[in-house]
Structure 1
Amino acid sequence: MIEFLFTDLVTNKLEIHTKATNSRSVCVVERCGFTREGQLRERSRTNEGEAVDLLIYGLLRSDR
């Protein structure tokens, strides 16, 4: 999927936002080679309404 986005859509950067509390998503994103670029404090909410941080990950074509 990542290769398709870089080659067929000719994009230079992919970006993923995920809740900091979603440890499984964080593991997948990091395993795919994305770099953590930032953290937005209390930017999202859980289903229960609790404020949680949002993590921003990026992957450049040159990172591959």
Structure 2
Amino acid sequence: MTRALSCDLRDRVVAAMRNGASCREAAKLFSVSVASAVRWSQLYRATGSTAPRPHGARRRP
């Protein structure tokens, strides 16, 4: 599994979309996939943050 992209990049992509760029435009501008830009935008709208979820397996009790 690959590492999550930086929070700084996520924030810049979301900021571009909030300033009027479409998801496709912002993704092309920052060289990320459109799907990532859409997911980060949805995450920001739902939680107010673009921080990635922690990696690793869940521990069962």
TM-score class, shorter-chain normalisation, is: under 0.3
What TM-score does the superposition give when structure 2 sets the normalisation length? 0.26
Q: Name the structure where helix makes up a greater proportion of residues.
A: 2
What TM-score does the superposition give when structure 1 sets the normalisation length? 0.26
Q: Name the structure where strand makes up a greater proportion of residues.
A: 1
